Amino acid sequence: MLWNIQPFDKRSDTFAKDLGTESLIAHLLLSRGIDSSQKVEDFFAPDYEKHLHNPFLFTDLPRIIERIRKALLDKETVGVFGDYDADGVTGSVVLREALEGLGLEVVVHIPDKHKEGHGLSKEGIEVFKNAGARLFFTVDCGITNIAEIAFAKERGLECIVIDHHHVPEIMPDALAIINPKVPQSGYPFADLCGAGTAFKVSQGLYQKLAPQKTDQLKWLLDAVAIGTVADCMPIVDENRVFVRYGCVVLAKTRRIGLQKLYEIGRIPIDDSRHPDAMMIAFQIAPRINAAGRMAHARLAHNLLVEKNDDQASVFAKELEAHNNDRRKLSAKIAKQIQTRVKKECLQKNTIVFSDEGYPLGIVGLIAGKIAEEFHKPTMILTRGKEFSQGSLRSARGIHLVEILKQCEDLLEKYGGHAQAAGLTVSHKNFPLLQKRFEDLVSQELLHEKKDITRLIDAELLTQHLHKDFLRSLRRFEPFGEGNPEPLFLVRNTVITDVRFLGSDNKHLKIKLRIGEGNDMLIIDAIGFSLGEKFRHLAPKDTVHIIGKFQENEWNGRTSLQIMIEDIRSKEENFS
């Protein structure tokens, strides 16, 4: 893997003086395209009132307002069909609570992943029909469900699609379609998640039908933040507002189910300890996703909307148990696949496996882990009686949906994003898909010359290793896709102590001596799951390290540390 250090921006010193900050902070801002005082203010202080776009930029929104106005007058029951992942679940919660707040009766259907598959299902449509609904919404799905929406029309139901996925050439015949990726949607920000898109619809509804209640919508931002982070949306533009404010709401959440989840899962969140995007990504979202992966996503939906204290505890305990089972099963199968990759795929540019023993609910997680470890686009599928279905995760800048477009003659269905996608393929077409996927990715990598590169933001010196600099770094939060946590190089540092922690000594903890003379200091560095890779390290070794500068809190005490991403000996060169 190449280490590529971003050249220090020549404008940094002047920009730093203008801002009254350090040159390295100015460099980090400039590297993100933030090159004026106004942009800095907007970036560091995203404002709910100022930085959210007008929902009526969605050209189909007025049609929805009028249809919901009619539903209110006629006292209709309205259906909400949410996808089974964290984004779909939270999006269905957002829309459900917004519609109920207007006074509508709402019936929600979350599909069974194994029985109904991906996207809108006829089973869900029948649930709405039997509930007496004449109108329903899809959330985080629907944009490719032409046949199902036609079926709904035959059954006397109108459909409004709220989605954010790849837009097909032919779209369904829905009453309205709200999807920021539709070119003619009129919306200026294409990277909303399903929950974020549902929130924009809710904003529009309340502005026209209940303007006195619009401030109450802010309480939905806990769900919007979970959906945004869980679906790996870029934390820029509106999403930065959603996640920043959503983290505040998560700390103050009125949702009894989340409060119980924090308690049972020992997640350190309360009114005085706000979460960040990383805590959502690694603590909250996996638990919400565990329901659909291991049982039924309806459990997560019920947890988020439950009002009864005892019942919320029951749901939270169930979810925690499913999450623990998910961890164990994912680790077991990932280990099996890692062995297969080393035997079968080292000379290939892709990793593609289909097996009856890979549970459908966790193949996406495993594909992500394998793609990250081997730096190759990865497809992990569950093999059924006639078809294999499952998930893909990208690596090295490969746009998955663009690749799958060139395979659609082999597929039953597909959809997703640049970085993550899903598909269904018949057994007879699977070998053809495997070969074409490899060929297309290989061509793309050859054409673009996409090396495996780790982009380093800057070199970290002893003058930066203090709490004031870390405080300045924290202003860049929330971190995530589109705004990654800065990655730093510490050059020619001497190891003074080495320890291996955890089961099988899989984690690495070292002490580093950085600088010389009066500038010298000792700092801890930790590398999770790096113990095996760097078992050879010993005190007095001089190394280069790349990592993230953070604060560690343990037993009420805080200290500065470096979260290690990679290590090289002093003899190794890098650009």
Percent of the chain scoring above 90 in pLDDT: 84
Cis peptide before 478 (omega within 30 of 0): yes
Averaged pLDDT, groups of 10, the chain, 575 residues long = 88 95 95 94 93 96 98 98 96 98 98 87 97 97 95 98 92 97 92 97 98 97 97 93 97 97 95 92 95 93 97 97 94 94 92 94 92 93 93 91 94 86 94 96 79 85 92 93 93 95 90 88 93 93 95 82 93 68
How are strands ordered across the β-sheet holding 176-178? Answer: 105-109, 77-82, 135-139, 158-162, 176-178
Q: Which helix (H) or strand (E) holds 393?
A: strand 387-393
Give the right CATH number for 346-451 from 3.20.20.150, 3.40.430.10, 3.40.50.300, 3.10.310.30. Answer: 3.10.310.30
pLDDT (tens digit per residue) in 139-170: 999 999 999 999 999 999 999 999 999 888 89
Contacts of 179 (CB under 8 A, 6+ apart): 143, 161, 162, 163, 164, 165, 167, 185, 197
CATH topology classification for 455-569: OB fold (Dihydrolipoamide Acetyltransferase, E2P) (2.40.50)
Q: What pLDDT score was predicted for residue 185?
A: 87
Question: Dihedral of the CA atoms 283, 285, 287, 291 (nearest 10)?
Answer: -170
Exposure string (b/e) for 544-568, b if CB count within 10 Å is 16 or more?
Answer: bbbbbbbeeeeeeeeebbbebbbbb
Strand partners, 407: none
**DSSP character string of 263-311:** HHHT---BTTB---HHHIIIIIHHHHHHHHHHS-THHHHHHHH---HHH
Q: What pLDDT score was predicted for residue 414?
A: 87
CATH topology classification for 55-317: inorganic pyrophosphatase (n-terminal core) (3.90.1640)
Question: What predicted TM-score, i.e. pTM, was given to this entire model?
Answer: 0.90
Distance (Å, rounded) from C-alpha 499 to C-alpha 535?
A: 10
Helix (H, G, I), strand (E, B) or coil at 424: strand
Exposure string (b/e) for 350-366, b if CB count within 10 Å is 16 or more?
Answer: bbbbbbeebbbbbbbbb
Quick one: which of 395, 464, 383 has its CA closest to 424? 383
Q: Are 368 and 417 in contact (CB under 8 A)?
A: no
Q: What pLDDT score was predicted for residue 272?
A: 86
Q: What pLDDT score was predicted for residue 115?
A: 87
| Number of Cα atoms under 13 Å in the Cβ half of residue 205 | 26
Domains of the chain, residue spans: 55-317, 346-451, 455-569
Contacts of 147 (CB under 8 A, 6+ apart): none
Q: Are strands 453-456 and 521-527 parallel, antiparallel or unpaired?
A: unpaired
Q: What pLDDT score was predicted for residue 449?
A: 60
Q: What pLDDT score was predicted for residue 397?
A: 85
